[in-house]
Structure formats: C-alpha cells, structure tokens
Amino acid sequence: MSLVEINFDGIIGPSHNYAGLSPGNIASASNAGAISQPRAAALQGIEKMRANLRLGLAQGYFMPLDRPNRQWLSGLSTDMTNAEPHIRAAAFSASAMWAANAATVSPAPDTADGKCHLSAANLLTMAHRSHEWAGTLAQLRLAFADERHFAVHAPVPSPYGDEGAANFMRLCPSHGEAGLEIFVYGKSGGPFPARQHLEASKAVARAHRLDPERTLFIQQSEIAIAAGAFHNDVVAVANERILFTHEQAFEEPEAAYTAIRDKMPEIEIVIVPADRISLADAVQSYLFNAQLVTLPSGEMALILPTEAQSNPRVWGWLEEHIAGNGPIRRLIPVDVRQSMANGGGPACLRLRVVADPATVDPRFIANEAKLDRIADVVASHWPEAIAPSDLGRPEMVEQVQAARTALLSACDLSELV
C-alpha cells in the first residue's frame, strides 16, 4: 500500500450560524448573535480544499450532518417550534464542519493489527456537539468500510469527554512509518471547561491497540485553556518530525519535551516564546490551528488563516523563522473567515487520516471536478445569511434540509439522508 496523509475537510453546512454555544471559545462567544453567511463560509472551505489539491496534497471531505437534529429534540420531548431558544440553536448547529473533532485516528503502522483505527468522538462536554457522534459514526463507517484496512469504533461512553483529533498529535519519521502518538488532556481551565478527559484518551489508545512504549499522555496547560485554547490544536501542531508549539501549551513543558525526545530522539521542537507571541495573540490569530503539511517536494508548509498574516507580532515571528532556515519553509495564508468567526481555523476544518486513498470509499475523495460540483450546489442552495431569529422559521429549516439533500444527491451519498 501507498500510505499518505489525507486531509478530510468538513463541508460547512447550510445551517452555519453564530449562536455562541461554545464556552471557552473566544471567537464563538464574541460573535454570538451576529449574522452568518453559510454560502460564503462553505465556498471558503471549498477553496481551501482546492488550494491543497493544487499543492499536490491528498484531499477528502465529509458531508454536513442532518440539521436540525429532530431525533435529539424528540429525546428532549420537544421540537423546533416549541424548543427553548438555546435548545433550538443546539439542534441547528453546523459544528460538525470542524472535522478535527470527528474522531481520533491511529494509522496502520502504529497499531497491533496493522489497521488504521478511527474512534468517533463523543463531544459530550458541549450540548450542541454532544449529538453529533451518531451521524459522524455513520459517515466514518461508510467512508472507511474496508475492514481489511480500517477499524471504526463507537465513542467512549460518558462521563469521559473526548474531543477527537484536536487533542491528539502524531510524530513520525514519515507518514507511512511507525510513529509516536501523543494524547493531550485537560484537568482544569479556570473559568472554562477542560474538554478532553485523560480516561477518554486512555480508552481510545486501548481501542486502537497502540504500543504503550510509543504512546504518551500529556496535560494541556491550564492557563492555555483559560486563555481560550479550548483544544490543544489552538496552541500546538505536529507533523512528521516537527512539533510546533507555544511555550505555554503544556502544563509541564520541559517534562513533556523530555518524554517526547526519549521516545523519538530525531524530533525537532519549534517553541514560540510567550514574550514574542502571547497566548492572546495565538488564540486571536489561530497561528497553531494551522495545517502543518509535508509538500511533495519534501518541504514543510504552514497553511494558516489570513488572521495570522494580519497580526504583526505573529507574522513577524513567522518571517524570522523562515529567514532563519527553520524547518517550516513556506507560509500559505487561506481565507476561512466565516469559520474563524465561529472559532475554527484551517486545522479545525480537517481530520488527518494516513491511509492508501485507494482503500477509502472514492465518494469521499476530492478532485477538482467534484469540488466544482459541490460548489455549484452550495451556490444554488445554501442560505446567503442566517440571523439568530431565523433559527425558528420553518422556511429556513426547509431550505437547510433541502440544501443538504441536494448535496448528498450530487455526491451520490443519498444513503446518508
């Protein structure tokens, strides 16, 4: 098999709105009540995927989930007409677009049975995300149905919160070789919840049949969570031999670095000092919520939001890194402002899966023609704008559901209806 890293992006759904449902997510809270632009948001996400394809990267996508989630509302003995506003908003949420929270993925070279393992995340800490897992699991089981190469697991049961790959990093000599898997958990975040529980991370590692000698559990910094780094991928990102991290990402950074180096001596750790880029700047710019990728040339590139380019302290440090011949050789800004305004950067929008693309259901693998077809559906069917007052309108519900149905039909995925 030819194992490569495939980035599966969540297509931004037609119900994308700013309800401010995520405590600890500064951008989400700051934009609560604003008018969203679902059509523009989805087209921005599609352009990001196009850009990755043109860089020579393997690219996939996931479909939006059915919204509003009437089954969840029924379980609460209500419906979209009668639900309280916060329940209605939670049922309508498009947050499954952030595919980094869909699952945790352990590639075949790391597992005892030589299969790529995927565990759907339960996301139980946040009400609006806690009901995603069923739709996500159905999609994972369809995309990765080849049991010769994949094992797809149901979520870790409550009460242990699991937020998926946003709190997971993998270091390796190359994507197709055995690696070191790092699970980052939280204990306390001051005024905000720590979303990744240690017991959930341990359960996923056991399910994936990982070698304990090649697995680490590291605590996320409490001050980082309190500053708005609600997931580890807001303050650290890894790719092959490189760990790119903020100085204050981990609770005991020197112990973390020592443990990583002991298990992978060839690691190169790029630490951004807090006196150059504060946690506030890191969270505002989503510098670390970038896609750190290996290009076909072998160079490493950072695909990061335009907000990072607009922050003079962040961009100045990055330019110094490039000029100093650091391991990251290219900076590629992308416009995902609609996602950023709701608290998700380029890395939030994608789930990394190391696999042979030929073993994945081809309906989930992107090419230019498929992205053209998806963009046409979005341009024709996605709402142009959604205000908070729109969430209760039957006409909006009908438009959102018809839009998703049109997309599933265009992608030959109608079994997901």
Angle at 83 between CA 77 and CA 88, to 5 degrees: 115
Give the pLDDT confidence score for residue 204 in this predicted structure: 98
Give the pLDDT confidence score for residue 247 in this predicted structure: 98
- Of the residues 16, 208, 231, 381, which is catalytic? 231
Q: Would you call 395 a catalytic residue per the annotation?
A: no
Q: Which of 42-51, 186-195, 234-243, 372-381 has the lowest mean pLDDT?
A: 186-195
- Tell me the mean pLDDT in the region 243-251: 98
- Express each pLDDT in 125-172 by its tens digit: 999 999 999 999 999 999 999 999 999 999 999 999 999 999 999 999
Q: Using 50, 70 and 90 to split pLDDT, how confident is the model at 239?
A: very high
Give the pLDDT confidence score for residue 188 in this predicted structure: 84
- Whether the pLDDT of residue 251 is over 80: the answer is yes
Q: Would you call 348 a catalytic residue per the annotation?
A: yes
Do residues 64 and 73 touch, judged by C-beta distance below 8 A? no
At 280 the three-state DSSP class reads helix
Give the pLDDT confidence score for residue 145 in this predicted structure: 98
- Whether the pLDDT of residue 228 is over 70: the answer is yes
- Per residue, the 3-state secondary structure of 3-44, as one string, reads CEEEEEEECCCCCCCCCCCCCCCHHHHHCCCCCECHHHHHHH
Pick the CATH number of 4-416 from 3.40.50.150, 3.75.10.20, 1.10.150.170, 3.40.50.980: 3.75.10.20
d(CA 18, CA 346): 18
| Domain layout of the chain by residue ranges | 4-416
Q: Using 50, 70 and 90 to split pLDDT, how confident is the model at 339?
A: very high
The model carries a pTM of 0.96
- What the block records as the tokens of 65 is 């989930």
- Tell me the mean pLDDT in the region 408-416: 97
d(CA 88, CA 80): 6
Give the pLDDT confidence score for residue 283 in this predicted structure: 95
- Tell me the mean pLDDT in the region 180-209: 95
Give the pLDDT confidence score for residue 190 in this predicted structure: 84
- Whether the pLDDT of residue 265 is over 70: the answer is yes
Q: φ, ψ for residue 336 (rounded to 5)?
A: -130, 50
- Of the residues 5, 163, 247, 307, which is catalytic? 163
d(CA 120, CA 62): 13
- Per residue, the 3-state secondary structure of 154-199, as one string, reads CCCCCCCCCCHHHHEEEECCCCCCCCEEEEEECCCECCECCCCCHH
Side-chain half-sphere CA neighbours of 272 within 13 A? 26
- Tell me the mean pLDDT in the region 57-84: 97
CB count within 10 Å of CB 293 equals 21
Side-chain half-sphere CA neighbours of 343 within 13 A? 25
Do residues 193 and 131 touch, judged by C-beta distance below 8 A? no
Q: φ, ψ for residue 288 (rounded to 5)?
A: -90, -15
Give the pLDDT confidence score for residue 241 in this predicted structure: 97
Q: Would you call 117 a catalytic residue per the annotation?
A: no
Do residues 231 and 199 touch, judged by C-beta distance below 8 A? no
Q: Using 50, 70 and 90 to split pLDDT, how confident is the model at 1?
A: low
Percent over 90 (pLDDT), the chain = 92
- Tell me the mean pLDDT in the region 178-199: 93
Give the pLDDT confidence score for residue 268 in this predicted structure: 97
Do residues 409 and 401 touch, judged by C-beta distance below 8 A? no
- Whether the pLDDT of residue 29 is over 90: the answer is no
Q: Using 50, 70 and 90 to split pLDDT, how confident is the model at 22?
A: confident
In which element (H, E) is residue 244 found? strand 242-246
Percent over 70 (pLDDT), the chain = 100
- Tell me the mean pLDDT in the region 269-295: 97
* Mean per-residue pLDDT over the chain, rounded: 96
- Express each pLDDT in 354-393 by its tens digit: 999 999 999 999 999 999 999 999 999 999 999 988 988 9
Do residues 205 and 181 touch, judged by C-beta distance below 8 A? yes
- Whether the pLDDT of residue 27 is over 80: the answer is no
- Whether the pLDDT of residue 225 is over 80: the answer is yes
- Whether the pLDDT of residue 353 is over 70: the answer is yes
Angle at 325 between CA 322 and CA 327, to 5 degrees: 85
* Burial 185-196, CB ≥16 within 10 A → b, else e: bbeebeebbbbb
CB count within 10 Å of CB 159 equals 10
The number of angstroms, rounded, from the C-alpha of 231 to the middle of its chain's C-alpha atoms is: 10
- Tell me the mean pLDDT in the region 227-249: 96
- Tell me the mean pLDDT in the region 99-104: 98
- Of the residues 197, 348, 381, 411, which is catalytic? 348
At 407 the three-state DSSP class reads helix
- Whether the pLDDT of residue 33 is over 90: the answer is no
